[in-house]
């Protein structure tokens, strides 16, 4: 019984194959209206992860909100004038009406708690109930602000030119939508004031919205560039469109399946279409070989079958290597990493199925006269590209020099990698002139900082937090943290106790200190709890006073900023032993953990993928020796690119870590094609010298490799003009990776094979 051939079936039933492809694509497209997005880093970790459980506990214990927007108001002439203060009050009143805003806990001039005393009695009331009109009233407000450490660098800058309104969001509130509404409110106000909207939810949700807009813009532009370059290569619009359809179909199938399974699109999975477009260019080898085969066969059907027979093994095995490289991410801990890995692995398999069905079917629709014309334009008579022959000839004729240059670059790359800093900062994913980044910079320079972390003091004993020892210890820790350049301000229950102690002693500065006994501290806290908003005390201490929460405002969203805070806490506790335990929490801490876990998950995934890919190479080549040779360009490509990343000072962040998988997939693809076709050539022409076989491989299959690299590099160069820096990173990475991978394959691989031929062919017959 004859073995079933998908290629032959597709060639014999092309209309059926195309129709089935279109129907399946339509079915997957029906899932797109159900798409959900999720840019919250909290959901990057499993709900059962320690940091997520702890953060949830801290938020519940201290009545904290997950997200906070900061509205900055700046007036170079000074904030403390009736006109500006009136605007602040009007803006605050309007913000309180926005759906999704936790109105009762908005803090600004007209809502923040002010602790004072009248006739020996504690008075807790909003700082500014009415806008001051007279000079006397303004002076009183100025005194209340600048004599209260709780306000300085929080709602008023030291120079009096910048103020802030802190806007907590209800659970599920969309940061970008609320930020946009706040921007609409401040647009109505005229005058000298400038307004800045900052905070984690603003950056996160704005990035999420812009990310999908960019995908909608740049994916089609990249596709059009690929179509144009493909057309310039082969002068066949129909087949050029077929190549694009191959990529688009796999993207629709993959994203449709993701949505159908109920997964939201995270930052990582949103980049899957970019990866699949890159992987789809491997079909270029089929197109490249087809025209050579037609020149030899003079029959379209025979040329298609011969083409697929020639490239089927490397195409199949490159797909296997790429799918395995991404598939190992399914075994990682982070949910979006798993989803991303599975998504690209599925898309890669879909691409290869289409390569053996849809693409051969599309070839049948092209007129033979057009194929004949294109095949004549190919340099078939000369055996391929003379330029690629010359390039490969450098490595073949000067193998030792070529390899030594590579070793020198390898050593330099290792030095560059040693300089790499693992860090993530979502605000820096926006360009310097963007509204989000400008707002964050201005607010961080003027006030305590927009990034918020917590240090939670924990005791085993009830009421221990009320003791003078605990209070002074926390105060000392705050002063230590405030010495860090990344820390703008700290706030704790100690600040409230000191403030109460001072105002109840006729505002005497010498009482701006922790009281001498536990009973007085307890009385102060009781009075404060009875008079203030519940959240004021709840935010900084629990009941029964076993825990205290230190608010740490950071002047940067760098993940390593919170790392330095944690290190400072550790050092302080080591130098000053205490029965209390200190644990970090908050969005800044969560970003730190997410940064390390996601990035190191990707590194672990890459390491595992490297092992799996080597095993696939050994299986494909049926030789450990050939696997080693094919593996070296892959390693060199990855190391050289990451070496450059280290030398230029680019942080190893999420986009860079994600790119590692793509660099692995593309670099190994080229090596598989080169080595497979070289060994195939040597079997078909046993009398040919190794040099001639290498030159033929570099010129003919190598032409497909170089076309593949140029095609995709040209398409994704457009991403260098994106407004979001991760897209610029992706564009630069792909362009350099594709060109470097091709160069390593055409130049370095022949040099390695030539230099090690005695070892490679030992025991083999040629």
Question: How would you list the strands of the sheet with 162-168, edge to edge?
Answer: 162-168, 68-74, 194-198
Secondary structure (DSSP) of 92-145: HHHHTTSTTB-GGG-BSTTTSEEEEEETTEEEEEES-SS---SHHHHHHHHHHH
Predicted confidence (pLDDT) at residue 105 exceeds the cutoff of 70: yes
Domain for residue 441, yes or no? yes
What are the backbone dihedrals phi and psi of residue 315, each rounded to the nearest 5 degrees, phi first?
A: -65, -45
- Residues 74 and 193 reside in one and the same domain: yes
**What is residue 7's predicted lDDT score, i.e. its pLDDT?**
86
Rounded Cα gap, residues 87 and 214, in angstroms: 36
CATH of the domain at 36: 1.20.1640.10
Contacts of 713 (CB under 8 A, 6+ apart): 734, 735, 738, 739
- Other CB atoms within a 10 A radius of the CB of residue 709 amount to 24
Answer yes or no: are the C-beta atoms of 174 and 84 closer than 8 Å.
no
Give the pLDDT band (50/70/90) at residue 2: low
Comparing 657 with 197, which gets the higher pLDDT?
197
pLDDT in the model for residue 727: 79
Average pLDDT (479-492) is 95
Q: Are residues 295 and 329 in the same domain?
A: yes
Residue from 337, 317, 312, 335 nearest 327 by CA: 337
| 312 touches 356 (CB < 8 A) | yes
DSSP calls for 229-259: HHHHHH--HHHHHHHHHHHHHHHHHHHHHHH
**Domain total for the chain?**
3
Q: Say what the pLDDT of residue 701 is.
A: 83
Q: Is 70 exceeded by the pLDDT of residue 377?
A: no
What CATH number does the domain containing 87 carry?
A: 3.30.70.1320
One domain, residues 85 and 96? yes
Give the C-alpha distances (Å, rounded to integers) separating 532 from 112, 497, 649.
Answer: 10, 13, 48
Which of 534, 568, 587 terminates a domain? The answer is 587
How many CB atoms within 10 Å of residue 510? Answer: 7
* pLDDT on residue 381: 42
Average pLDDT over residues 663-674: 74
Nearest 5 degrees, angle CA 71-CA 76-CA 79? 60
- Give me the mean pLDDT over the 498-502 stretch: 93
**Residue whose tokens read 């644990």:** 583
- Domain identity same for 51 and 78: no
Q: Are residues 310 and 371 in the same domain?
A: yes
Average pLDDT over residues 58-69: 90
CA pair distance 611, 621, nearest whole angstrom:
15
Q: Which of 188, 165, 177, 4 is nearest to 92 (CA)?
A: 165
Please indicate, yes or no, if residue 230 is contained in any of the structural domains. Answer: no
The proportion of the chain whose per-residue pLDDT surpasses 90, expressed as a percent, equals: 38
Band of pLDDT at residue 379, cut at 50, 70 and 90: low
Residues 582 and 445 in one domain: yes
> Do residues 244 and 345 both lie within one domain?
yes
Residues 251 and 309 in one domain: yes
CA neighbor of 388 nearest in space, from 673, 738, 671, 703: 703
Domain that holds residue 299: 1-62+235-378
| DSSP at 32 | G
Position 179 in a domain? yes
* Residues 166 and 257 grouped into a single domain: no
pLDDT at 174: 81
pLDDT of residue 384: 46
Residue 305 structure tokens: 């079958």
Which stretches of 685-720 are DSSP H helices? 690-699, 701-716
pLDDT in tens, 299-346: 888 888 888 888 888 778 788 878 887 888 788 777 777 888 899 899
Give the integer Cα–Cα distance in Å for 130 and 569: 41
């Amino acid at each position: 019984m004859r073995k079933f051939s998908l290629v032959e079936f597709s060639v014999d039933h092309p209309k059926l194959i195309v129709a089935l492809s279109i129907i399946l694509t339509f079915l997957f497209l029906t899932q797109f209206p159900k798409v959900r997005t999720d840019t919250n880093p909290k959901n990057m970790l499993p709900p059962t992860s320690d940091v997520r459980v702890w953060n949830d506990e801290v938020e519940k214990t201290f009545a904290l909100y997950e997200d906070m927007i900061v509205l900055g108001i700046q007036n170079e002439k000074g904030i403390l004038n009736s006109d500006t203060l009136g605007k602040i009050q009007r803006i605050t009143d309007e913000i309180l009406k926005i759906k999704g805003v936790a109105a009762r806990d908005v803090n600004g001039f007209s809502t923040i708690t002010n602790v004072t005393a009248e006739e020996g009695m504690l008075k807790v009331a909003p700082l500014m109930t009415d806008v001051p009109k007279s000079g006397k009233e303004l002076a009183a407000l100025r005194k209340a602000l600048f004599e209260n450490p709780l306000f300085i660098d929080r709602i008023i800058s030291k120079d009096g030119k910048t103020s802030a309104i802190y806007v907590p969001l209800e659970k599920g509130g969309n940061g970008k939508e609320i930020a946009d509404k706040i921007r609409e409110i401040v647009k109505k106000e005229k005058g000298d004031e400038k307004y800045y909207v900052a905070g984690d939810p603003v950056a996160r949700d704005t990035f999420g919205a812009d990310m999908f807009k960019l995908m909608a813009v740049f994916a089609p532009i990249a596709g059009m560039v690929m179509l144009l370059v493909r057309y310039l290569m082969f002068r066949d619009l129909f087949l050029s469109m077929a190549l694009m359809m191959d990529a688009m179909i796999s993207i629709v199938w993959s994203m449709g399946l993701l949505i159908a399974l109920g997964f939201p699109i995270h930052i990582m999975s949103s980049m899957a279409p970019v990866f699949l477009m890159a992987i789809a260019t491997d079909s270029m080898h089929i197109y490249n070989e087809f025209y050579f085969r037609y020149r030899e066969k003079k029959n379209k059907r025979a040329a298609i079958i011969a083409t697929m027979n020639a490239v089927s093994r490397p195409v199949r095995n490159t797909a296997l290597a790429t799918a395995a490289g991404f598939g190992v991410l399914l075994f990682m801990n982070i949910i979006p990493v798993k989803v991303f890995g599975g998504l690209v692995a599925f898309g890669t398999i879909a691409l290869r199925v289409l390569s053996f069905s849809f693409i051969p079917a599309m070839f049948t629709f092209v007129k033979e006269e057009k194929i004949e014309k294109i095949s004549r334009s190919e340099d078939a008579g000369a055996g391929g590209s003379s330029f690629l022959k010359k390039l490969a000839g450098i490595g073949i004729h000067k193998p030792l020099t070529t390899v030594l240059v590579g070793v020198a670059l390898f050593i330099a790359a290792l030095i560059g990698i040693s300089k790499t800093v693992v860090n993530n900062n979502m605000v820096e994913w926006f360009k310097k002139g963007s509204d989000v980044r400008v707002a964050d910079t201005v607010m961080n320079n003027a006030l305590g900082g927009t990034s918020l972390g917590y240090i939670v003091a924990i005791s085993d004993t009830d009421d221990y937090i009320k003791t003078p020892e605990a209070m002074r210890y926390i105060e000392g820790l705050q002063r230590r943290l405030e010495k860090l350049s990344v820390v703008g301000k700290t706030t704790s229950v100690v600040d409230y106790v000191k403030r109460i102690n001072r105002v109840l002693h006729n505002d005497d500065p010498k009482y701006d200190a922790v009281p001498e006994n536990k009973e007085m501290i307890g009385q102060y806290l009781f009075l404060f709890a009875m008079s203030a908003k519940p959240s004021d005390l709840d935010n900084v201490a629990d009941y029964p006073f076993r825990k205290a929460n230190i608010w740490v405002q950071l002047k940067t969203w760098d993940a390593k900023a919170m790392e330095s805070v944690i290190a400072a806490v550790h050092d302080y506790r080591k130098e000053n032993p205490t029965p209390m335990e200190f644990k970090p929490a908050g969005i800044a801490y969560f970003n730190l953990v997410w940064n390390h876990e996601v990035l190191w998950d990707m590194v672990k995934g890459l390491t595992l993928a490297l092992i799996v890919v080597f095993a696939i190479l050994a299986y494909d080549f049926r030789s450990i020796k050939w696997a080693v040779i094919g593996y070296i360009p892959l390693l060199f490509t990855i190391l050289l690119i990451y070496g450059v990343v280290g030398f230029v000072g680019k942080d190893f962040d999420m986009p860079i870590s994600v790119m590692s998988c793509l660099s692995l997939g593309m670099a190994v693809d080229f090596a598989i094609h080169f080595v497979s076709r070289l060994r195939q050539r040597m079997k078909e022409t046993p009398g040919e010298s190794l040099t001639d076989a290498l030159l033929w491989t570099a010129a003919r299959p190598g032409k497909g490799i170089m076309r593949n690299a140029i095609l995709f590099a040209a398409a994704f160069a457009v991403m260098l003009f994106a407004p979001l820096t991760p897209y610029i990173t992706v564009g630069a990475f792909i362009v350099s990776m594709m060109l470097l991978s091709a160069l390593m394959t055409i130049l370095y691989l022949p040099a390695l094979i030539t230099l090690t031929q005695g070892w490679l062919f030992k025991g083999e017959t040629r």
